[in-house]
Structure formats: structure tokens, C-alpha cells
Structure 1
């Protein structure tokens, strides 16, 4: 059976490990390189005499999807906490660029290479959408800044649905004509999380009528409106709908139950050997200077150590999984290789 288990997530309790600043790789090398870099290139806008950099105008964070989904939640939560905790001197503006599974937003960022005042939030579709041939840009066209957290997938039905377990859902898929909405395009994150779970449960993933939407929020709206029979999306996105009783989650892709949705059984509990995590991070345009990358790397390292971030993460069902720029870049390269194997195994590539 297929099993997708990432081993990169930190399980440390808040405050139980050294400061993230002390754990960031490459910091010494960056500091040593800055004087040479600045001497060669001249002083950049916002650069100070000691070789550091700070933004000189508002920072724009792009969510490459509509409002209400995981990218939008991450962008708005980060922007709000960075301002409320006094970690930035400039304001932060969230811009939604929905469409094409994230490709519209990525194209927008790619057209702003070298602009250190633009960031975007990211997750597995930055790897999966280009692998499906649906984007002109992949993660190599951008600058990794930091991985912040991880989340898991939930499989949803309406509250009054007769489907009560994931096995019930697979039976409906086997019968044909059962539609499942997701917040990413065919062959991307939500589709892969669905196909992998169905394959592990012994069901042919191609039997599922997967309907893509621009973000988990739209997929859940479609479910509530009766336009699809089920939905798959991030646990953090679905939390409010499940807690309010408007939807029921018949499974979650985490290795064990979490504190956010403690009553939702894992797939593993239901004898389905499949887990899938949704890592969430921040990237920037290409061609940023090392001092600019270091500024944002430090900024988000400080943010994830605040009590406010930890409280929001617990509320949203996110697990702390910080990585600095260099480690995040290596993680993206490795995960792309893992996804290629998954897509081949479930017949999506």
C-alpha cells in the first residue's frame, strides 16, 4: 500500500529547543559574504552601512488563491501577527491572485524579480502544478524564504450525509458518479491526497470524479451548495465548518489525531495506510540579495516563536515546522522527487 510520510516536521514543544536564530543554517556564511556583495553591487535600497537590509515601503504578501482557503489564511494570519507583534516597521498588504491552481499568482511574482517588497505563501502545489504541466514556473524560479508550519488533509461530507467513514466514501466512489471537490487542480495537492488515500484503501483513484476549485474555500462552498458530494481540503481550512456542525470529516491524513479536530479519526485508524502533510511556507521573487533573504528569514523565525503565532497555530491545527531559506530550498528539491514517485504510483503521471 502507498504511504506518504514526511519526516521533516519538528515535534518540539514551544520553548523546548534553542532559538531558531541559532539553528538557521548558513547564517555565518551570509554575514561573511555581505560586505563583498555590497561592495560589488553598490548599496541597495534599504541597505545600511553594516550590510543589513530592511524594507523601505509596505510589504505585499500574495495568496495565489481566492479568499477563505489555506493560502489566504496563512497570508492574512502572518501579516496580522507580524504587525501586531511589532516585528515590522512597514505595513503588510495581502493580495489575492486566484486562478490556475496558483499559476496566476506565481506568474505575477515571477514578473517582479528582484523586488524585495513582494512575498507569496506556498505549499505543495508549487511542486505539483508545474509537474502536471499547468504552470510556466516552478519553485526553482523563486527564492525560498522559510517553511513555517504543516497541516493535514481532511475528507468532508455534509453533516446530514449517510457517509460516516472513509470506507463509506470509497464505496460511493466505486459505485461511480460520485463527485469530490478540491481546492487545487488535477494532479495537484488535494487531488494527490485524495488519489493516494483511495489507492491505499483499495479503490481505483480514476473512479473518483474530482472537481477542481480555486482554493479550499470554494470547494467547501460547492459542497454546502450540493454541487459536489464530498470535498478534500486542509484541516485548518475546514476547522470552522466542522466545529459548527455544517460538515463532517470522515478522515484526516495525519499520523495521529490532533488537538484541533480530536474527534476526527485518522485514515491510519481506519486501516488505510496513508498519511499526507501540507507544509506551508513563504517564498519571494528571484534575484533577491542575500541581505534581503536574511531579513525575511530572521523575521519569520521571530514570528513563529511568538506566543501569538503558537496560539493561532494550535487553533488552526498547524504543527510548527520551521526551516530557514537554505534548508527549505533543499526540502523543496527532495519533496519534488518524492511527489514524482507518488504521482507515478497512483497513475497521475
Structure 2
């Protein structure tokens, strides 16, 4: 039978203490506590809360590719599509992983609009803002042979006979396209609640309806209409940015036509609630460097995106302002829940 000597006992205790110390250090390295700046320790799940091919999917895959190829992140970015509910399915998934710094999602105005319309139990306050990345103008378009020559012509008709004009959009009532239209109509002096808005599943379907004579006008992102404008099938009445768009340089802005309204389709990145300052800072820095990367600039120019970086705190304040503005518009058109 083995009998422990005092020296053997002391050696065992020392070995056990060393094991515990190494384990504690390993845990600190994983969590980032007390071991310097945080870094991801496994692949980053990057959620696009929609199907493939849309704006969120394009943003996720483009930014993931640039971040990976430029070695701006320490682990691969793996894009996961979680479509449904105007984004609500993806947001619900992220909300189940509070405090997990290895999950991010791309976002845009629907993260505010869908909850305001009562279609999602989560709101933007249930997540951590990481960075706003870019913006894109909204375009108000008609067929090339339309009698409406300016946005003012369209607004005049909406004032005198609103139900005689149907306007197609690629999102549901109270979401992105509808709010971008309602705000412009209100600013032009018409009653936004009386506008005959016809929702479709995506900008492509809305523009197809316009071309097929099933709508009198349409509202969509500038990048979605560019090809049809260049081909001569569509004409732009106005874009919603303060200055003319680089991809639609001949299209006048709303403000040029006396309509004081600016609506940018902003896009950004958020994470689960409960991320640490070190984790937020890691991703902030990665995206800030990405914005200055030549490959990103080339993709942005091709897609009609304007870089508009905001860090976490500034992005959070921006979201508060946007939420208040959208709430007022949805109240005016009777869609806020």
C-alpha cells in the first residue's frame, strides 16, 4: 500500500495549484478578462436576416469577404441566412445568444420599423450596436413614358386624387420603402395616410409590377433601379439624399424640388446584448479599417453605397434619433402599434 510522505503531499499540492492556475489563465485567455484586448477564439457567425441575393445578404457577404481577405479579423466570418418576418426571425435567433461575441448580424432601418409596427418582440434596444457602415438613397421612379415628369407632379396628383395613383414598394406596409415614400409625400404636402401603397416581396418584384403597368410609380433603393434607368425603361423623379447620387447623377434630389426631406437607407452591424467594451472595440476597429480598404471601396462604388461609418456609441445615438423619427411617421400613417 502506498503511503504519502510530507514531501509527496507538498508536491501534489503544488502540482494541483499549478494546474488550477493554468486553467484559470486559459479561461482568462478565452474570455479576454485580464489578458489584454479581446480577440475571437472561434469562427464568427454572421447573420443576414433574409434570404440570399437581397440587400442584407449582399452586405454580409461583401463585408465578410473583405474582412477575411484583408486579415482584419482573427477568425473566419461565416455568413448564415435566417430569413422571415422582415428580419424578425434572424433577430430572435441573435437574442437567444446574449453575451456571445462570436455572433453578429447586418442591419438597416427595418430593425426599427418592424418592431414599431408590432411585428417583432425584439427592438433595437435588445442588441449591441457595433458600427454603421454606409448609406444608399431611395429612388422614386416611373416608367419612361409616364405623365409624371417631376416629383412635384406626382405630389400634386396625390393631393387632388390620392387613390387614383398606386405606388409599388419592395417591403410591407410600415417598413422601409413605405416609410421612405410616406415621409416624402408628407413633406410635399400630401396626406401620406391616403397613399395607395402596394407592397411586394422585394424591389425587383415592385419594379416588375411598375414595368407591367400594375402600378403608376415605385420606390426602391437607388442600386436596384440603376440598370433600368440606364436602359431607358424607367425615369427617376427624385432621389432622397441631400446631394445627388453618384450612381444616378442626372436624378434631382427632393430638396432640389422644394421637398425638404432626406431619407438614407443606412446599413450597419449589431451584435447580441451584453457584449463587453473590449469585444465592441475589437469589431469597431475591424470595420473602421474595412471602410478604408481598397477592395471595400471598389465594391461600394459598384453597389452605389456611400461610406458613412459610425462607431458603437454614435451608431446607438443615431438609432435613437431614427426610431423617434420613424415612430412619428408610422403614427401619421396609422401603422404604429
1:35-67 Cα offsets, whole Å, 9 max, x none, are xxxx9x953647487332333333232222344
The reply to whether residue 55 of structure 1 matches residue 35 of structure 2 is no
TM-aligned CA distance change 1:207 to 1:137, over 3 Å: same
SS in structure 2 at match of 1:176: helix
Q: Distance in 2 between matches of 1:62 and 1:217?
A: 22
Q: Does residue 1:342 correspond to 2:311, yes or no?
A: no
Q: 1:123 aligns with which of 108, 114, 120?
A: 108
Q: CA RMSD in A?
A: 2.8
Encode CA deviations 1:238-284: one digit per residue, 9 max, x unaligned.
Answer: 33443344433221011121222101111122222222122211001
Residue 344 of structure 1: how far off its partner (Å): 3.8
Query: 1:95 Cα deviation (Å)?
Result: 2.8
Corresponding residue number in structure 1 for 2:299: 312
- The alpha-carbon deviation at position 161 of structure 1 amounts to 4.0
Report the TM-score, using the length of structure 2 for normalisation. Answer: 0.81
Unaligned runs of 5+ in 2: 1-23
Decide which moves more: 53-62 or 102-111.
Answer: 53-62
Which residue in 2 is equivalent to 1:297? 284
Say yes or no: does 1:88 pair with 2:68: no
Q: Distance in 1 between matches of 2:197 and 2:282?
A: 41
User: Given the superposition, is the C-alpha separation of residues 65 and 170 from structure 1 closer, same or farther in structure 2, using an over 3 Å criterion?
Assistant: farther
Match of 1:272 in 2: 259
Give the counterpart of 1:110 among 90, 95, 100.
95
Structure 1 137/76 Cα, relative in aligned 2: closer, same or farther at 3 Å?
A: same
Deviation at 1:137, TM superposition (A): 0.6
Match of 1:22 in 2: none
Aligned to 1:286: 273
1:186 CA displacement: 1.6
Q: TM-score, normalised by structure 1?
A: 0.78
Structure 2: distance between partners of 1:314 and 1:228:
30
**Could you tell me whether the CA contact under 8 Å between 2:28 and 2:35 is conserved in 1?**
no
252-261 vs 57-66, which moves further: 57-66
**Counterpart in 2 of 1:147?**
132
The count of aligned residue pairs is 311
Distance 1:47 1:215, change over 3 A: farther
Q: Deviations over 1:264-313 (max 9, x none)?
A: 11112222222212221100122223332222111101101112223333
Of 150, 154, 159, 1:169 maps to: 154
Gaps of 5+ in 1: 1-38
Distance across 1 between alignment mates of 2:215 and 2:50: 20
Q: 1:222 to 1:42 in 2, by over 3 A?
A: farther
Structure 1 or 2, whichever has the larger Rg, is 2
Classify 1:273/1:225 alpha carbon distance in 2 versus 1 (closer, same or farther; 3 Å).
same
Q: Normalized per residue, which structure has more helix?
A: 2
